[in-house]
Amino acid sequence: MANEMDAMAAIAQFKGPNVPVGQTPEVGTTETRSRTIVGPVTFILENLEVRGLGTKPADPSNSPFIISEDERYELSVDVVFNRTPLTELLMCLGTRIIIDFGIEGYGKNAPEVDVQATLVTVRDQYNYHLVYTGVARRDGLKPGLYEIGAVATVGPVENRCTTKIWGHGYIKEVLLEVYASGQE
């Protein structure tokens, strides 16, 4: 090729076989920083936590992981997304995040219980803290020892341009003991 313009024209894509009278055939090409400029979208689950929210007994040295069955407790987990153009778009569109907390009881009297936390993503936020707050007895937790894990479902987006579910994940395990109320 004689010069750079000839080289660029040689690799360019010629547009349209029906060129209007008075016009020349279109020549064009594009360049991007990367062929994967929009993705990938990834996330991690971290900081799975459980804690009792009661004040009885009031001694601050007592464990937040041992609660009365009439005590409020909190389960939480963090969902952290990478930052790519596609992630930015999905966060801005309002993507639903659902965390299913599985509370697995040890022994015949401690049942398996499932509870859920959910939220919809917002623009320019990539770290989310999902929290479920409950009362042990109301949620069906009887005195016993429980192991807790969480399963995440990410998607679809919550608008008229809905998408499929595009992410799944899990994290485990923290422990919680529930005792009969009135034994404080």
Provide the residue-wise pLDDT of the chain in tens; the chain has 184 residues: 456 555 555 555 544 556 556 555 655 554 545 456 677 888 888 899 999 888 766 566 677 888 889 999 999 999 999 998 888 988 999 999 999 999 999 888 899 999 999 999 999 999 999 999 999 999 999 999 999 999 999 988 887 777 677 778 878 778 888 887 776 6
User: May I ask the CATH architecture of the domain 43-179?
Assistant: Sandwich (2.60)
d(CA 136, CA 138): 6
Residue of 143, 140, 145 lying closest to 105 (CA atoms): 145
User: Which CA distances in Å does 24 have to 8, 9, 17, 19, 110?
Assistant: 17, 14, 11, 7, 79
User: What residue spans define the domains of the chain?
Assistant: 1-31, 43-179
pLDDT at 168: 81
d(CA 83, CA 92): 12
pLDDT 10s digits, 122-134: 999 999 999 999 9
Q: How far does Cα 167 stand from its chain's mean position?
A: 8
